[in-house]
Amino acid sequence: MTIQEFKTVCSTLEQEYIAKISAAADLNALEELRVAALGRKGALTELLKNLKDFSIEDKKVAGPLGNALKAALTAALDDKTTALSAAQLNEELNRVQIDLTLPARPTAQGKRHPLSIAQKRMTDILSKLGFTWAEGPWVEDEKHNFDMLNIPLHHPARDAQDTFFAQTGSPLSMVLRTHTSNVQSRFMEKHQPPIRIMAPGRVFRNDSLDATHSPVFHQIEGLYIDKNVSMADLKRDLTAFMKGLLGDKTEIRFRPSFFPFTEPSAEVDVKCVFCAGKGCNVCKGTGWIEMLGSGVVHPNVLKNCGIDPEKYSGYAFGMGVERLAMMMMNIKDIRTFYENDLRVLNQF
Amino acid sequence: MKILYSWLKDFIDLDFTPEELAQQFTKLGIEVASLEKKGADFEGVNVAQIIQIDNHPDSDHLHLVTLDLGGGKTQRVVCGAPNVAVGQKVPLARVGARLGKVVLTPAKIRGVVSEGMICSSDELGLTNTRARGILVLDEKIPLGTDVRSLYGKSDALFDLEITSNRPDLLSHYGVARELGVLLNKPVKLPAIKEMKGQGPSLKVEVKDSAACPRYSGRMICGVKNAESPELIKERLSAMGLNPKNALIDVTNYVMFELGQPMHAFDRNLIDGDTIVVRRAVKDEKFTLLDERELTLDENALLIGDSQKATALAGIMGGKNSGIADNTTDIFLESAYFDAPTINKTSKKYGVSSDSSQRFERGADIGMTLTALHRASELLVAACGGTPSEIVDVYPVAFENPVVSFTPAQINGILGTQIEEEKLKDIFGRLALKFTAGADTWAFQAPTHRRDLNHRWDLAEEAARFAGFDQIPAGTSRAFVSFTDNPKGVDLMERCAEKLCALGFYECKNIDFLGEKELKAFGFDPKNTVKIKNAMAQGWDYLRPTLLPALLKNIEFNQRHGQNNTALFETTRTFSLTKGFPTETYTVAGVLCGTLPAQPFFAPNGQKPDFYFIKGAVADLLDGFEAVQLIPSEKAPVYMHPKICMDIVIAGKKAGVLGALHPLTLRTAGLKTNEVWAFELALKPLEKLFNAQLFTPAKAVAAFPPSLRDLSVVLDKTISYAQIKTVLEKTALPVHLHFDLIDVYEGEHVPQGKKSVTFTLAFSAPERTLKDKETEDAFNTLVGQLKEKLGAELR
């Protein structure tokens, strides 16, 4: 064989096997081709046997040619092997049949109580608005629950609260706190302004248990005391709070009201979120929903807590958690919260 | 407070519709609880009688009704009411009649023209709710009668919620006065004819002028008690009062009109000629008009004569001096009593009246004489008689304080920029005296506004009368500081999140329980906070444990078909420590039935055992050092005596976990006898908890461990804890990690023995162990287990 003939055979073999490899139908056919081309008695081995008869110069040409042919065929075989195994795997996968529409396997998660969910929404927003969490006792003395908050003894405002009285060994007359406002007097007594706190928690009223009343319910209180705090600061912060709670389009309005611990006092309404203020069942056609009570902290309250009302001023607001939860979660009866019926609890 | 629109108009010109007036009230901060329209707001409706009913040719529920209008005239109309019947007398509105704002025109109803309609009560505006059919009138009313004459003229009754700081709004004149300020309209008192008195009145001696700063009165002699005039009767009925007789009705009428409570005594039942205002003597007995007998203490204020008490001042008269039909001479009281004195007595004896409700909020000390003249005039007109001279004991004339302020301060409180002229105008209308100096302004409120004592009060008035919508949302200001949540709050939240992840549902329960439950759970009532005025039996104590309520929740859910319940609550529990109330953040959980219920995948669920609830507790306590779970030496009465562990934190018992005692469950009415439970006080964890702490990571072994299985047979009575201690305490030159993989008792081990199997992982931080090292360590452990616990390699 001449070197010319060797070159021609190389080129012919390459064309022939590349075409065969490319056309191989499966991995078995491919293996046969590998043996036929590169095996001990394969075409390439046979061809390379001619090398021993070549001159040194011819060997220098023929050797690399033979190696290149081997590399090309090996690469082609590897590529084809990868492609064919992928195809074979896909074929197997495509034979899989399971019913994907069967129900999801339930995870073993429990749920938070709707009142916790509502309260957490509120505390999260207030927290973003810079209010820190403060706590106070639930069994409270009358001084912190009433007197310091400008609700004097023998005043009808005090009677209106339907107070539970607790029997303890304390020399002070103890009550179950009737509002979260006791945290105001507790906190201001110990801290000078600036003060910016929220106080969520349980409160107690000696009310009958019916669809709209419960002797135990939840409030959340906000208090901000600093220099030159006004009703306008209150309106700004409550607008932000309500937008956080009910959405960016929420509007609020102030209505005059009376609370012993604020002066001026304002009832805060939000534009009905169910009808955008057009009037519906929830807002009883008025377009507005009563949301919370608020006002400028009464100078007597500041004075009682050791804060100079000539130097500092502030606002306070208080809101019912049940009220919000009932409205937003479509719960018609306040007792629902305290029955803990799993059929209800697992909806939230 | 009920306010009749027509009565208001006695004092101020108003041309609002009732709905518009309600909006004005809302603007002022006076909540309108209800608005009830009264009387006839229609014209041209007459009484007619149904004489014939035919079916409508094109409808199965409409009828063609022929009516007799009187005077031989008839009319046929279409009517769909279900209650229509021949013979009924009904209100018929013919074409041209007006119903409210609607004027009737002919209407074609399914092809038949109807020239009128038979009205229902709501179509006539007589009721607010939809009536179910036509209004059927008394058959004795003559045909053709104008139906208006049966119902009187139109009016509106507002029920206003007056806040306790505004007693001046507890009268028609007071509400008119408030509207006058808002609308800048004149408000006039009724034209009172002041009658000159003849002859002296009874004398008045006030022994406690702090409790009774003013006492005015007069006699009217020679009256003849009679029925009140129609107007008074009508108006009192609207207020919800039954008119009795003129002598009593007039005092009430004046109270609703001017806000001044009054009382009339029968002069001839008063001994002597002096009225004495005094405190009661201790244990003094007094019988009220309504026959209730009171035993008073020295704080009660009484009106009396030389012999006896005749009235509980400002609250209610006595049975011994009340007005009767044959009363001829009266003494009329118009006084001002101190608000706290009246509130205290009213509350203490549980006696409340329209009068006490006004006095305890604060009446108008400047109104006593005006009211006395008004009542005299009305009484003499109704009952005749001659008024005496007036007695008026008023030693110190009351004046409200003068409030000095600047308009800038008012705007500062409100965050507004209300113009000075506007503020001057508002304060001028409100004040008794008002001067606007160059720097400071001075405001003095009239006697009926005792609530205006500070500039803050005036700021509220400025905002109310200028409109609360004047208050803008302020521009942003920043106040930044960081204070962490109270630790207990964060701990409760952490527990709640973990328990939810384990499948528990959060509950919220009312904080009360009864003595029975208290004792069933082993608590001493003496160390528990008792509620003095509990609202129901079984709700007498503040709960020291959350478990009883959670059992009730299981019971409730079982009754409603939910047998698989994993519930928890986290809140405060209460106890008394040396008599003082202590509140502790607590978490408790109960587990009953299977977990979780998965109808398709695991129809029988997975039945949790003790180790599940132990796992839940371990998870709650994960990350805390110094926490141990130790088998209880003596389980609490409500727990299973043998399946109960103490949760010990920093050496102190902080809770329990285990199985509840089947008797506890039976008492709670549960259908099951297996409930797993835990309760844990979070206070001891507060000291160990640090919200700012990041957990530092430990290095992960770089070289693979050598694994060996270890199976030993030992006495059944030896606990896992004992084996664990040996494995942990044995000193080894290599690191050991072990996992329990099996505990076996049965035919393959001798009686009274058990087999315990571990996978042991031996390792060193910087290299792979040689077989010999592993073997030596393994043998050391086997030797120790044999020596300490008598364990044999299996």
CATH code of the domain containing A150:
3.30.930.10
Strand B565-577 relative to strand B505-506, pairing: parallel
Does A156 map to a domain?
A: yes
Do A222 and A134 reside in the same domain of the chain? yes
Can you give the pLDDT at residue A173?
93
Closest residue in B to A207 (Cα–Cα): B535
Do A129 and A219 reside in the same domain of the chain? yes
Select the residue from A140, A290, A342 to test the B interface by mutation, using most B Cβ atoms within 10 A.
A342
- Least Cα distance to A184 among A68, A94, A318 occurs for A318
The most distant pair of C-alpha atoms in chain A lies apart, rounded to whole Å, by 128
Containing domain of residue A18, as a range?
3-94
Do A164 and A19 reside in the same domain of the chain? no
Radius of gyration over alpha carbons of chain A, in Å? 42
**Per-residue pLDDT at A234 exceeds 80:** yes
Do A121 and A88 reside in the same domain of the chain? no
Can you give the pLDDT at residue B58?
86
Does A211 map to a domain?
A: yes
Last residue of a domain, one of A65, A94, A123: A94
Do A119 and A203 reside in the same domain of the chain? yes
Of B341, B473, B509, the CB nearest to A239: B473
Phi (first) and psi of residue A302, to 5 degrees: -60, -50
Q: Tell me whether residues A169 and B510 touch, CB distance under 8 A.
A: no
Count of residues making up chain B: 794
pLDDT in tens, B636-678: 999 999 999 999 999 999 999 999 999 999 999 998 889 999 9
Residue B440: which pLDDT band, with cuts at 50, 70 and 90?
A: very high
B434, B427 in Cβ contact below 8 A?
Answer: yes
Residue B695: which pLDDT band, with cuts at 50, 70 and 90?
A: confident
Q: Tell me whether residues B509 and A338 touch, CB distance under 8 A.
A: yes
Residue B599: which pLDDT band, with cuts at 50, 70 and 90?
A: low
Does A105 map to a domain?
A: no
Do A84 and A210 reside in the same domain of the chain? no
Last residue of a domain, one of A66, A94, A122: A94
**Per-residue pLDDT at B128 exceeds 70:** no
Q: Tell me the mean pLDDT in the region B355-377.
A: 96
- Least Cα distance to B345 among B535, B212, B248 occurs for B212
Q: Tell me the mean pLDDT in the region B717-738.
A: 95
Contacts of A235 in chain B (CB under 8 A): 415, 471-474
Of B456, B477, B532, the CB nearest to A299: B456
Do A80 and A118 reside in the same domain of the chain? no
Question: b/e per residue, A146-179, with b = 16+ CB within 10 A?
Answer: bebbbbeebbbbbbebebbbbbbeeeebbbbbbb
Strand B386-387 relative to strand B274-279, pairing: unpaired
Q: Tell me whether residues A232 and B482 touch, CB distance under 8 A.
A: no
Does A109 map to a domain?
A: no
Question: b/e per residue, A66-91, with b = 16+ CB within 10 A?
Answer: beebeeebeebbeebbeebeeeeeee
Does A306 map to a domain?
A: yes
Tokens 């400025």 belong to residue: B462
Please give the residue that has the higher pLDDT: either A200 or B605. Answer: A200
Do A341 and A279 reside in the same domain of the chain? yes
CA B309 to chain centre: 38
**Per-residue pLDDT at B8 exceeds 60:** yes
Does A50 map to a domain?
A: yes
Contacts of A310 in chain B (CB under 8 A): none
CA B793 to chain centre: 71
Do A36 and A124 reside in the same domain of the chain? no
Write down the pTM of the prediction: 0.83
**Per-residue pLDDT at B101 exceeds 80:** no
Count up the domains in chain A and report the number: 2
Rounded Cα distance between A192 and B269, Å, is 62
Helix H or strand E segment including B757: strand B753-763
- Least Cα distance to A263 among A188, A313, A307 occurs for A313
Can you give the pLDDT at residue B7?
95
- Least Cα distance to B87 among B143, B139, B141 occurs for B139
Tokens 């009268």 belong to residue: B171
Do A178 and A310 reside in the same domain of the chain? yes
pLDDT in tens, B323-354: 988 999 999 999 999 999 999 999 999 999 99
Angle, CA of B351, B355 and B356, to the nearest 5° = 45
Do A218 and A257 reside in the same domain of the chain? yes
Last residue of a domain, one of A46, A61, A94: A94
Can you give the pLDDT at residue B602?
62
Q: What domains sit in chain B, N to C, each tagged with a CATH number? A: 2-38+156-183 (3.30.56.10), 42-152 (2.40.50.140), 203-393 (3.50.40.10), 402-466 (3.30.56.10), 487-688 (3.30.930.10), 706-793 (3.30.70.380)
pLDDT in tens, B240-269: 999 999 999 999 999 999 999 999 999 999
Report the SS3 class of residue B75: strand
Contacts of B459 in chain A (CB under 8 A): 263-264, 296
- From chain B residues 22-41, the ones with a CB under 8 A of any chain A CB are 26-29
Residue B309: which pLDDT band, with cuts at 50, 70 and 90?
A: very high
Can you give the pLDDT at residue B603?
63
Does A60 map to a domain?
A: yes
Do A34 and A175 reside in the same domain of the chain? no
